[in-house]
A and B are shown apart, each in its own frame.
Chain A
Amino acid sequence: MKAVTWQGAGKMRVDNVPDPIIINPRDSIIKITTTCICGSDLHMYDGYIPTVRRGDIMGHEFMGTVVETGAGVTNLRVGDRVVVPFNIACGNCYYCKNEMWSLCDNSNPNAAAAEEMYGFSPAGLFGYTHLFGGYAGGQAEYVRVPFSDVGCFKLSEAITDEQAVMLADIFPTGYMAAENGDIRPGHIVAIWGCGPVAQFAIRSAYMLGAERVIAIDRFEDRLQMARDGGAETLNYEAVDVLDALKEMTGGRGPDSVIDAVGMEAHGADLDFWYDRVAQATRMETGRPVALRQAIEACRKGGTVSIPGVYGGFVDKLPIGAAFNKGLTFKMGQTHVHHYIPILMERVERGEIDPAFVITHRVPLTKAPEMYKTFRDKKDGCIKVVLKPDAAA
């Protein structure tokens, strides 16, 4: 089969690799019909995340049809149309049973390495480094889904492929970001970044009762998409974000702040260049430019929600501001298994069409060049959908 493989920083390649096979009784094999490039894939593309190996198959946002099931899978049939969460979870452990699926105890075969790094191991992930299990990903024609009896969600006719694939990661991630912001009626929410996750966070914040949402970025096409979702926008290259937010919120500051940027943030201030150097010299693994500003901007007693990905250490986190303003922090990988049924219902009821975020549709074979376009934010690129069965 064809698959997108990592060949080093800045190098993705479409290779012919062996088809996946059933290894464990609860596995299934899915023929992928639609898959995506995620903003978090860019962290590996740019070489900022260790434990990626040459030849690893990328991709953790995909959907398709079941073509084979393991002996232990009784609730799926060949031909079922399904979407698969980006995290792999067993459904049996304490964390899965308590809806904290991304913290599954049992799905990371390299848990020992993750324990060295984090103290305890989170769930395994598709196509996202060996620290998270080294599972082959879904930017391919086929994929092996472990624990498929709890990791495949059947789709109704009412949901299109392009809508469904947004349920694998970014819609749930944006929604959990808004939920983590502890939004109450009358609240003003500020969101750093206007990438795909932020676009869903904007719309989710309104679903959860936000009064106003303010979105911050520097790319006009992304800011426009945010405005289409009902947000007011700030271009951080044109205005002083902290002053503007204070003024827009009557001097109080936003009630919830959401860092939908993560470890490769850009900024207009001096600290951005400090972080660029520190990250390039491996003094820190993330540039928390957006996070620092979000902490500073947040009102007293407000909530900081972090859906943006961080992998290791960051420098100069303003913990004093966070402490003395009594902030609450909520963060983490998305508990996708928990959110898919909730959000699938909203899509089926027509409350939202999650395909709005897609700007590029290309055959899988075009993936390497699309990584570059997406990374460089060229050509108005916000969300790339890859079609394995389309002719190149």
Chain B
Amino acid sequence: MYQPQTRASLQPTMSKINIGQPERVLSLVGGAALTGFALFRWSAASIPALAAGLLLVSRAMRGKSSLYRAMGRNTAVKTNPRRVSVPHQQGIHVARAITIDRPASDLYQFWRDPVNLPQVINFIESVQFTGSNRAHWTIKLPGGMKSEFDVEVYTDVPNEVISWRSLPESQIQNAGSIRFRPAPGNRGTEVHLTLEFIPPGGPLGKAAMKMFDDVPGQYISQYLREFKQIMETGEKATTEGQTSGREKEVQR
């Protein structure tokens, strides 16, 4: 049957190669040695050694590993840790959207002013510009801890998008973007916020984060809601500090 070779149909075939070139050479050399060893020095260990050797040769020739696929590991695609703060398919990735009844220019200007961010995102203590596209962030961590890192703004299209990522020496590797696009029917601007980060604490931190995997999304939703409240109404809806009849407040 004729199958047109479109980009879409080529994509999956190419992506099946998940072993990088250096690893394929090593696999071939190791596999050949193991196979030769098994064949020429026959013993009880020869059968498994032969099987392992042939497997290594085969994966070197084909460039594909089903084990890697199962593990989600890929050594064929190069990621440059110096340029990517959160490598592809690693870390926690959260994306949320909200529609705000204000022009994109107002929203962009608010977001571009570092003084405003802590109003919306409560884990940010401060943001200071240190260069034309560099900023120093101080964030609050649970338990009264703090973390500081430098961020570069690598995309800044006025009224459309701002994207940032942490610089390599940061304690918490993270990246994010905020995009603005007009909502249909004169309903203002759609705001799309994406954040990704590698949770502190290594694999343990990541596992802990996975257990509460809807928590980051809930936070992002709340930040967007409060951003909307400030932009549309000029204040954040709250009951904090209001009176009640709870025990500590009742005067008898």
Contacts and interface: CB of A to CB of B under 8 A. Distances in A.
Interface string A13-26: 10111111101111
14 contacts: A16-B251, A19-B243, A21-B242, A23-B238, A24-B235, A90-B233, A91-B233, A92-B232, A93-B228, A93-B232, A94-B99, A111-B225, A112-B225, A115-B221
Contacts of A92: 101, 232-233
Given A15-B250, A94-B187, A112-B218, A25 B243 contact: no
Interface in A296-340: none
A354 interface: no
B142 interface: no
A16 B252 contact: yes
Contacts of B188: 94
Interface in A48-96: 53-57, 72, 88, 90-94
A146 interface: yes
B228 A106 contact: yes
B159 interface: no
A55 B251 CA distance: 12
- Those 3 A-B pairs whose CB atoms lie nearest each other, nearest first: A5-B245, A55-B246, A55-B245
B232 A106 contact: yes
Contacts of A26: 233-235
A26 B236 CA distance: 10
A134 interface: yes
Main secondary structure of the interface of B (DSSP, over half): loop
A164 interface: no
Given A16-B251, A53-B246, A92-B101, A106 B237 contact: yes
Contact of B242 (A13, A23, A54, A72): A23
Interface of B: 99, 101, 187-188, 218, 221-222, 225, 228-229, 232-247, 249-252
A365 interface: no
B232 A90 contact: yes
Contacts of A54: 245-246
Interface string A118-136: 0000001000000001111
A13 B99 CA distance: 42
Contact of B244 (A55, A91, A108, A133): A55
Contacts of A147: 233
Contacts of A135: 239, 242
B243 A17 contact: yes
Contacts of B225: 111-112
Nearest to B240: A23
A97 interface: yes
Contacts of A1: 243
B235 A55 contact: no
A112 B98 CA distance: 13
* Residue of B233, B234, B242 ringed by the most chain A CB atoms within 10 A: B233
Given A18-B249, A94-B187, A24 B243 contact: no
Given A17-B251, A97-B101, A111-B225, A72 B234 contact: yes
Main secondary structure of the interface of A (DSSP, over half): loop
Interface of A: 1, 3, 5, 13, 15-21, 23-26, 53-57, 72, 88, 90-94, 97, 105-109, 111-112, 115, 124, 133-136, 144, 146-147
Contact of A112 (B222, B245, B251): B222
B239 A133 contact: yes
B244 A109 contact: no
Contacts of A55: 244-247, 249-250
Nearest to A27: B235
B237 A133 contact: yes
B193 to A, nearest CB: 16
* Residue of A15, A91, A147 ringed by the most chain B CB atoms within 10 A: A15
Nearest to B99: A94
Nearest to A105: B228
A109 B237 contact: yes
Nearest to A89: B233
A21 B252 contact: no
Contacts of A15: 245, 250
A107 B237 contact: yes
B101 A93 contact: yes
Given A25-B234, A106-B228, 7 more contacts: A1-B243, A17-B251, A21-B242, A26-B233, A56-B244, A92-B233, A109-B239
A108 B237 contact: yes
Contacts of B234: 25-26, 72
B245 A57 contact: yes
